[in-house]
Amino acid sequence: MKGVSGGERKRTSIGLELVTNPSLIFLDEPTTGLDSFTAATVIDTLRDLAKAGRTIITTIHQPKTEIYESFDRLMLLVQGKIIYFNEAKQAVDYFGGLGPRYACPDWDNPADFFMEMMSIESVPETDGGKRYKTKPEMIQEHQASIDFLCESY
């Protein structure tokens, strides 16, 4: 027996919430587990709702480039602190202005780049290829980067 798909379930859930005609809709990971077409359809539906006057707030980790480009505003949080909150289309230039370490490469998905930039995985493992850093050194360097991003914001 065939049930409803993940996309149908997500859209139905959103539809049920709309019955009460809310002016604010908060969604936690509305595209998780969906194929790319269905995720784009859900985001298009949310965008239409926003254009109709509703405020839509979502948490989304690593959206596809096409989905990222549909966002009006972007808030990036790391360790519970805001490091960016402004128009999504200005984020790449903002971070690029903070220095080469924070410049998103031309062909990268900005969302993927921002997630990596905020992660300890962005810390190089070596000092210019000469010596491997210790874990405490990497943690300290990562924390210094996060502190810099917080102070810059």
1-60 fold: Rossmann fold (3.40.50)
Residue-by-residue pLDDT tens, the chain, 153 positions: 677 777 777 778 878 888 888 989 998 888 888 888 888 888 888 899 899 999 999 998 878 888 899 899 999 999 999 999 999 999 999 999 999 999 999 999 999 999 999 998 888 888 777 788 888 889 999 999 999 999 999
- Segment 103-134, tens digit of pLDDT: 999 999 999 999 999 998 888 888 777 788 88
Instruction: Determine which helix (DSSP H) or strand (DSSP E) holds 73, and give its type and residue range.
Output: strand 73-78
The SS3 of residue 49 is: helix
DSSP state of 118: T
The SS3 of residue 11 is: helix
- Phi, psi of 74, rounded to the nearest 5 degrees: -135, 135
Q: What's the pTM?
A: 0.81
Domain regions of the chain by residue span:
1-60, 74-153
